[in-house]
Amino acid sequence: MTEPDYPAHPKVTVDADQLAMTFRPADIRVIKAITGRSPAELTQTGGDVDEGDKFQMLAFMVLRQTYPDEHTKTLWDLADQADIDVVSSPPDPSNAATTTG
């Protein structure tokens, strides 16, 4: 199977308000096999966790939703070159608190 034409610098958008991600067991195994760390270890704060690894993992998870599973190592490397936009969703007006005066 040939690899698809991946963009040299993919653009990945991550919504900061929805950082909860759905992992498949295969995703966890791939991340651990490539990095030697589990996703939980990569998302810890402090310690010796590299911030770049955290964002690379986020980009990888977004790319995994777009491209086939067969090229996970390539996607991990591609995630390292991704332009990552972290955005915040606009507030939901239906959840706005009302004040009485």
- Given this model, what pLDDT does residue 101 score? 47
How far apart CA 101 and CA 95 sit, in angstroms, is: 19
C-alpha distances in Å from residue 35, one per residue of 28, 54, 57, 64, 100: 11, 11, 10, 16, 53
> pLDDT, tens digit, for every residue of 4-52?
677 777 788 777 666 666 677 888 888 898 888 888 888 777 667 778 8
- Given this model, what pLDDT does residue 59 score? 86
Is the overall model pTM greater than 0.85, yes or no? no
How far apart CA 35 and CA 28 sit, in angstroms, is: 11
The secondary structure element, H or E, covering residue 14 is strand 11-15
> pLDDT, tens digit, for every residue of 43-90?
777 667 778 888 888 888 888 877 766 677 888 888 899 998 888 777
